[in-house]
Chain A
């Protein structure tokens, strides 16, 4: 496959996506936008989808929203399934028995951060030639908003409710990019829907890199249902996550970290929390301790990324 060049205008994207309407994802679904953007960014790919919102919402028999080859096996194995497909295609295409196209393992934060992390680690360590894209909506949404390793500090989920004694999730979000970059893979990056050009071009870059090794994308995809905000705000929420520095946009290429979107005057974290019922309870004075821990982490994390950026090759 020839190298994919970066896209600069929206009109550079194909007119029709291979992700078709008629799927059953919620109105205003961030992961749905993610799925669509993937098919706009890459001319063709095999999608290996883990169990979760996107898989369930888009492939209820006999309806499938995917005009691309698409595979779903189990919850925690989309990475090794993708590895198997990639290996098979490498062999079969060399013998003229199949046509090789990029393989994208697509999974939610549940599949990626938690149940599938071991298997993902294996695929990355083997340097399998796949792309892994995690659409992160920060909880196990398909089963009813239960907390995941990606839920942020303080999040009110059904298994970490904002209760009278414990005000939401008390543990912090796993640093996924650090985990994957520690496998010394060629490329890892965060992206989100609001910065569409950055997201599209990172997907294209990942596909280019997958010719030589695994590329990993961590995409923040807001969920109106779980985060409890009005559906029309999905892109705004995505923007706010970036502008509060809660979800920094950066990449690690050949071990070197680079911040792609500099937030010089961050919006107060409170603005992000106030807009969604999942987080709003942190604004209550009795939860001030948890709120402060979250804010301290946001500041610490940003500083950490700036330090890593200056430190040369860190992974």
Chain B
């Protein structure tokens, strides 16, 4: 994903607008993905707290995996106190 802007168009002095990483989807890094069993989920938000991307979207106390960015590290599954998250192999 190379940049194509010319030197006249490029940002000033090695700067860029903040937050643009959202345009770079890292979801294709993973080999396995987390799946939440909402029956077991107690909405403790531990998975959301520890996700390194973050690839868990939080709405109040509800959580949802953001598969656009999830790298499949498995921290959420490991730390979930109710073992409500399972890592399943990604389809190739």
Seen from chain A, the residues whose Cβ lies within 8 Å of a Cβ on chain B are: 10-11, 13, 15-30, 32-33, 36-37, 40, 58-59, 61-70, 193, 196, 224, 230-236
Contacts and interface: CB of A to CB of B under 8 A. Distances in A.
A70 B75 CA distance: 27
A64 B14 contact: no
A70 B74 contact: no
Given A24-B26, A28-B75, 15 more contacts: A11-B60, A11-B61, A16-B58, A22-B22, A25-B52, A26-B71, A28-B52, A33-B51, A36-B52, A58-B21, A64-B21, A193-B50, A231-B73, A234-B73, A235-B50
Contacts of B7: none
B11 A62 contact: yes
Contacts, number: 123
A294 B29 CA distance: 37
A63 B15 CA distance: 10
B12 interface: no
Given A22-B21, A23-B53, A64-B18, A15 B58 contact: yes
Contacts of B21: 20-23, 58, 63-65
Contacts of A11: 45, 60-61
Contacts of B49: 10, 13, 37, 40, 196
Contact of B77 (A15, A22, A69, A232): A232
Nearest to B43: A11
Given A22-B25, A63-B23, A29 B52 contact: yes
Contact of A65 (B19, B48, B66, B72): B19
B79 interface: yes
Nearest to A63: B21
Nearest to A16: B58
Given A21-B69, A28-B74, A33 B50 contact: yes
In the A-B complex, the 6 residue pairs with the smallest Cβ-Cβ separation, listed nearest first, are A232-B74, A22-B21, A28-B73, A21-B69, A27-B71, A32-B52
